[in-house]
Amino acid sequence: MIDPRIYEMFREIGEDLFTAQLISSHGGNLSIRLGDRVIIKRRGAQLGRLKPHDLIETRLDKNDSNVVLASTELLVHRAIYLNTPALAVCHCHPRTAVAFSFSRDELVPIDNEASYLLKKIPVVTEEFASGTPQMANKVAEALKNYKIIMLRGHGSFATGQTLDEAFHWSTCLEESCQMELAAKIINEPFIEYRGMSGSYSQF
Amino acid sequence: MNGWNGKILEIDLTKQTHKESPLDIEMAKQFIGGRGLGARLLWDLVGPDVDPLSPENVLIFTNGPLTATGYQTSNRFSVTTKSPLTGTVLDANSGGYWGMQFKKTGYDVLIVRGKAEKPVWIEIKNSEVTFHDASELWGMRVFALTEKLGQNNNKRNVLCIGPAGENLSRIAAIMNDRERAAARGGPGAVMGSKNLKAIVVEGSTRPEIMDKERYKFLMYETKKLLAASPLTSQALPEFGTVVLMNIMNNIGALATRNHQQTQFEGAEAISGEELTEKYLVKNQSCWACPIGCTRISKTEKVEGEGPEFESTWAFGAQCGIDDLPAIIEVNALCNDLGLDTISAGSTIACAMELSEKGYLDSDLRFGRADQLAPTVEAMAYRRDIGTELADGSLRLATKYGHPELSMTAKGMEMPAYDPRGLQGQGLLYATSNRGGCHMRGNMIGLEVLGLPKLIDRFQVQGKSAFVILNQNSNAAIDSLVICKFTNMGVADEYFARVLGAVTGIPYATGELIKVGERVWNLERLYNNREGFTSKNDSLPPRLLTEAPTDGPSKGWVSQLEPMLKEYYRTRGWDENGVPTPKKLAELGLENLL
| Cβ contact, residue pair A3, B513, below 8 Å | no
Interface of A with B (CB under 8 A): 2-3, 5-6, 32-36, 83-85, 87, 116, 119, 144-147, 160-162, 164-165, 168, 195-196, 199, 202-203
Average pLDDT, chain B: 96
Reported confidence tier of residue A64, pLDDT bands at 50, 70, 90: confident
User: pLDDT tens for residues B347-363?
Assistant: 999 999 999 999 999 99
Kindly give the pairing relationship between strand B7-12 and strand B109-113.
parallel
Residue percentage of chain A with pLDDT more than 90:
80
Rounded Cα gap, residues B147 and B583, in angstroms: 49
Tell me, what's the pLDDT at A69? 84
- Fill in the amino acid letter for B513: I
Instruction: Note the pLDDT of residue B287.
Output: 96
Taking an 8 Å cut-off on Cβ atoms, the answer to whether B497 and A85 are in contact is: no
User: What is the H or E stretch that residue B112 is in?
Assistant: strand B109-113
Asked if residue B128 has pLDDT above 80, the reply is yes
Confirm if B532 and B411 have CB atoms less than 8 A apart: no
The pLDDT of residue B528: 97
Does the pLDDT of residue B432 top 80, yes or no? Answer: yes
pLDDT of the residue at B485: 93
Chains A and B form CB pairs within 8 A to the count of 85
Sort strands B180-182 and B196-202 into parallel, antiparallel or unpaired. Answer: unpaired
Kindly report the CATH number assigned to the domain that includes residue A102: 3.40.225.10
- Closest partner CB to A161 (pick from B459, B469, B569): B469
Domain boundaries, chain B: 7-202, 244-413, 423-538+559-592
ipTM of the complex: 0.72
What's the pLDDT at B174?
Answer: 98
Q: What is the pLDDT of residue B42?
A: 98
Chain A closest CA to B74's CA: distance in Å?
Answer: 21
CB contact under 8 A, B217 and A2: no
Amino acid at B317: A
Give dist(CA A64, CA A86) in Å, integer: 22
**Residue B573 and residue B581: Cα distance in Å, rounded?**
9
Residue in A196, A197, A200 to test binding to B, most B beta-carbons within 10 Å: A196
* B-chain residues near A161 (CB < 8 A): 446, 452-453, 466, 469
Taking CB atoms and an 8 Å cutoff, what residues of chain A touch B509? 84-85, 144-145
Query: Is the model's pLDDT at B565 over the cut of 80?
Result: yes
Give residue A36's domain range. Answer: 4-187+194-202
At the topology level of CATH, where does B7-202 sit?
Aldehyde Ferredoxin Oxidoreductase;  A, domain 1 (3.60.9)
Q: Rounded to an integer, what is the distance from CA B131 to the centroid of its chain?
A: 28
Does residue A131 surpass a pLDDT of 80? no
Using the predicted structure, report yes or no on whether residue A157 has a pLDDT greater than 90.
yes
pLDDT for res A128: 79
Closest CA to B324 of B276, B288, B365: B276
Q: What is the pLDDT of residue A43?
A: 86
**Count of CB atoms within 10 A of residue A25's CB?**
10
**Under 8 Å between Cβ of B409 and B429:** yes
CB contact under 8 A, B462 and A32: yes
pLDDT in tens, A181-190: 999 999 999 9
pTM equals 0.92
User: In angstroms, what separates the C-alpha of A120 from chain B's closest C-alpha?
Assistant: 12
Q: Would the CB atoms of A162 and B452 count as touching at under 8 Å?
A: yes
Assess contact for B119 and B507: CB atoms under 8 A: no
Instruction: Chain A: give the shortest CA distance to residue B496, in Å.
Output: 9
Q: Does the beta-carbon distance from B492 to A85 stay under 8 Å?
A: yes
pLDDT at A139 (0 to 100): 96
CA pair distance A12, A27, nearest whole angstrom: 16
Please tell me the predicted confidence (pLDDT) of residue B1: 82
Q: How many independent structural domains does chain A possess?
A: 1
- What is the pLDDT of chain A when averaged over all its residues? 94
Measured CA to CA, the distance from residue A141 to residue A125 in angstroms comes to 12
- The H-or-E segment that residue B59 falls in is strand B59-62
Distance CA B509, CA B493 (A): 5
Architecture field, domain B244-413:
Orthogonal Bundle (1.10)
CA distance A197 to A194: 6
Q: Are B359 and B398 in contact (CB under 8 A)?
A: no
Cα–Cα distance measured from residue B100 to residue B120, given in angstroms and rounded to the nearest whole number = 23
pLDDT for B229 equals 84
Of A32, A87, A199, the CB nearest to B469: A87
Residue A130 has pLDDT above 80, yes or no: no
- Partner A contacted by B375 (CB < 8 A): no
Given a cut of 90, is residue B262 above it in pLDDT? yes
Q: Candidates 1.10.599.10, 3.40.50.300, 3.20.20.70, 3.40.190.10; correct CATH number of B423-538+559-592?
A: 1.10.599.10
B220, B462, B491: residue with CB nearest A34: B462
Q: What is the 3-state secondary structure (H, E, C) of B514-532?
A: HHHHHHHHHHHHHHHHCCC
Checking if the pLDDT of B566 tops 90, the result is: yes
Sorting pLDDT into bands at 50, 70 and 90, what band is A127? confident
CA distances from B85 to B18, B88, B104, B340, B394 (A): 28, 8, 32, 11, 9
- The dihedral through the CA atoms of B141, B142, B145, B147 has a sign that is negative
What confidence category does residue B235 fall into, taking pLDDT thresholds of 50, 70 and 90?
Answer: confident
* Beta-bridge partner residues of A179: none
The DSSP line for B313-328 is HHHTGGGT---HHHHH
B359-399 confidence digits (pLDDT tens): 999 999 999 999 999 999 999 999 999 999 999 999 999 99
Bridge partners of B330? none
Report the SS3 class of residue A102: coil
Task: Report chain B residues whose CB lies below 8 A from the CB of A158.
Answer: none
Indicate yes or no: CB of A87 within 8 angstroms of CB of B225: no
Burial of A162 (0-12, 13-18, 19+ CB in 10 A): buried
When pLDDT is averaged across residues B332-345 and rounded to a whole number, the result is 98
Q: Pick from B483, B561, B421: which is nearest to B94 by CA?
A: B483
Decide if pLDDT at B533 tops 80.
yes
* CB burial string B66-105: b at 16+ within 10 A, e below: bbbbebbbbbbbbbbbbbbbbbbbbbbbbbbbbbbbbbbb
Split at pLDDT 50, 70, 90, the class of A63 is: confident
Q: Span B536-543, mean pLDDT? A: 98
Indicate if the pLDDT at residue A129 is higher than 80: no
Q: Give which of B459, B457, B432, B430 is closest to B443, Cα–Cα.
A: B457
- Summarised one tens digit per residue, pLDDT across range B172-206 is 999 999 999 999 999 999 999 999 999 999 999 99
Q: Which long-range contacts (CB under 8 A, 24 or more apart) does B20-27 make?
A: B20/B127, B23/B108, B23/B109, B25/B1
Residue B227 above 90 pLDDT? no
Residue of chain B minimizing CA distance to A115? B221
Average pLDDT value for residue range B299-326: 97
Phi, psi of A66 (to 5 degrees): -70, -15
Summarised one tens digit per residue, pLDDT across range B477-523 is 999 999 999 998 899 999 999 999 999 999 999 999 999 999 999 99
State whether A144 and B472 contact (CB < 8 Å). no
